[in-house]
Structure 1
Amino acid sequence: MDILVTYDVNTETKEGRRRLRKVATVCKDYGQRVQLSVFECRVSDSQYETLRDRLVKTIDPTLDSIRVYRLPAPREEHLFCFGIDGYTDFEKPLIL
């Protein structure tokens, strides 16, 4: 399944900046950054559950926010990108 992970982590403290880096690291394990605090991920059902659990354990729910959206398939038919698009579809052949 394709999902979109967005987050807003309070970075007013050193601990907040650390949480921000950890959230980004967790997201990088499952997908790719498409904007500063937005990741697109292609995951299985079990990976989805693990990702959610890891993110929930990383944030401070009194200060931070994470939103996860399931993208309808096929993703490409529901996506409109204006401006720079840094997404790479790793399912298609890569030409170097």
Structure 2
Amino acid sequence: MFVLITYDVNITSPHGAKRLRNVARACIDYGKRVQNSVFECILTEAQLVMLRNKLNTIIDSEQDSIRFYILGKNWKNKVDTIGKNDGIDFSGELII
């Protein structure tokens, strides 16, 4: 399934910058960064659960937030881009 992950980490708090880096590193393992705090990922349900659990251990739930937009398998009909498009192209070969 296609999942869009967005996050907002409070970097003004102690250890905030470290949490921000760790959230980005965790997301890089599962998808592609398309904007500063936005990742596009193709995940199985198991991978989504693992990533959610990993991110939940990184963030401070009282200061930070992460949103998962699950667009499913027909995501091409739901994504529209204006301007530079750094999204994932799944029409070609995908090597993991």
What is the TM-score of this pair, normalised by structure 2? 0.90
**Structure 2: 5+ residue runs without aligned partners?**
none
3-state secondary structure, aligned to 1:46? helix
Q: Could you give the per-residue CA deviations for residues 26-82 of structure 1, whole angstroms, max 9, x where no partner exists?
A: 000000011110001001111010000001110000110100110133211111101
Equivalenced residues, count: 94
3-state secondary structure, aligned to 2:80? coil
Give, in whole Å, the separation in 2 of the partners of 1:90 and 1:80.
15
| Letter of the 1:10 counterpart | N
Give, in whole Å, the separation in 1 of the partners of 2:91 and 2:44.
15
Give, in whole Å, the separation in 1 of the partners of 2:42 and 2:14.
31
Aligned to 2:48: 48
Q: What RMSD in Å do the two structures reach over aligned CA positions?
A: 1.5
Identity, in percent, stands at 44
Contact 1:3 1:69 in 2 (8 A): yes
| Letter of the 1:49 counterpart | V
